[in-house]
Amino acid sequence: MKSEDKSNPDTVQKEDAGDGVSRRDFLSSATAAGLAAASLGTSEKALTQEFAQTRVAALAPPSAMQQSMEDDTPAGYSSEEAQEYFVKNPGSDFMVDILKHLGFDYITTNPGSSFRGIHESIVNYGGNQAPELIEASHEEIATAMNHGYYKVTGRPLAMLAHGTVGLQHAAMAVYNAWCDRAPMVILAGNHLDVQDRRPGVEWSHSAQDCIRVVRDYIKWDDNPVSLPHFAESMARAYKIAMTPPMGPVAITLDGHLQEMEVGDQQLMMPAMTPTQPPSGDWAAVREAADWLVEAENPVIVVDLMSHDQEGMERLIALAEALQAPVVNQYGRTNFPNNHHLSQGASVIAQADLILGLELYDTWGTINSLRDRVHKDELRKARPDARVIDIGTKELFWRSNYQSFQRYYAADLSISGDAQTTLPVLTEAVQSAMSRSRRSSNGEREERWRAAHLRAREQAVDAARYAWNASPVSTARLYAELWNVVKDRDWALVSDDNQQSRWARRLWPIDKHYQWIGRSGGAGLGYGAPSALGAALAHRPEGRLAINVQRDGDMMYVPGTFWTAAHHGIPMLTVTHDNQGYHQEFMHLQRMSARRQRGIDGSSWIGNELRNPDIDLAKIVEGMGVWSEGPYTDPKDVGPAIARALDVVDSGEPAFVHVRTQPR
Amino acid sequence: MIIPRALYPFALVALSLWFDASMAQDTAEEGRALFESHQCWQCHGYEGQGGGAGVRITPMLYPFEAFSQLVRHTNLMPAYSPNVLSDENLRLIWEFVRSIPEPPALEDIPELNLE
**How confident is the model over A578-621, as pLDDT tens digits?**
999 999 999 999 999 999 998 877 788 999 999 999 999 999 99
Q: Assess whether pLDDT exceeds 70 at residue A47.
A: no
From A415, A450, A485, the end of a domain falls on: A450
CA distance B20 to chain A (A): 27
Domain residues for A567?
A: 463-579+614-658
Partner residue opposite A596 with nearest CB, options B46, B84, B109: B84
What is the per-residue pLDDT across A156-201, written as a single tens digit (0 to 9) for each?
999 999 999 999 999 999 999 999 999 999 999 999 999 999 999 9
Residue type, A26: F
Q: Which of A525, A513, A647, A469 is nearest to A574 (CA)?
A: A647
Please give the tally of structural domains in chain A: 3
CA distance A334 to chain B (A): 21
Mutation target vs A (from B41, B47, B49, B107; most A CBs, 10 A cutoff): B49
What is the per-residue pLDDT across A469-504, written as a single tens digit (0 to 9) for each?
999 999 999 999 999 999 999 999 999 999 999 999
Q: Minimal Cα distance from B46: which residue of A?
A: A661
Task: Give CA B48 to chain center in angstroms.
Answer: 9
**How would residue B9 be classed by pLDDT, with cut points 50, 70 and 90?**
confident
Contacts of A369 in chain B (CB under 8 A): none
A55 and A99 both lie in a single domain = yes
A105 and A153 both lie in a single domain = yes
Contacts of A590 in chain B (CB under 8 A): 78
pLDDT of residue A397: 77
Cβ atoms within 10 Å of A295's Cβ, excluding its own: 20
The answer to whether residue B56 is domain-embedded is yes
A507 and A571 both lie in a single domain = yes
Query: Dihedral sign, CA of A434, A436, A439, A444?
Result: negative
A195 and A70 both lie in a single domain = yes
Q: Does A13 touch chain B (CB under 8 A)?
A: no
Q: Minimal Cα distance from A463: which residue of B?
A: B112
The answer to whether residue A455 is domain-embedded is no
Using the beta-carbon criterion (under 8 Å), do A465 and B58 form an inter-chain contact? yes
A407 and A472 both lie in a single domain = no
Residue type, A641: I
The answer to whether residue A277 is domain-embedded is no
The answer to whether residue B40 is domain-embedded is yes
Contacts of B45 in chain A (CB under 8 A): 465-466, 469, 473, 661-663
The answer to whether residue A608 is domain-embedded is no
Greatest mean pLDDT among A142-156, A195-209, A367-381, B18-32 lies in A142-156
A415 and A505 both lie in a single domain = no
Domain residues for B45?
A: 34-101
Residue A638 is part of a domain; what is its CATH number? 3.40.50.970
User: pTM of the predicted model, to two decimals?
Assistant: 0.90
pLDDT of residue A602: 79
- Are A572 and A652 in contact by the 8 Å Cβ rule? The answer is no
Q: Give the list of residues 6+ apart from residue B52 with CB closer than 8 angstroms, or none.
A: A497, A498, A499, A500, A501, A663
- Are A503 and A338 in contact by the 8 Å Cβ rule? The answer is no
The answer to whether residue A598 is domain-embedded is no
Residue B45 is part of a domain; what is its CATH number? 1.10.760.10
Q: Which of residues 65-94 of B touch A (CB under 8 A)?
A: 75, 78-81, 83-85
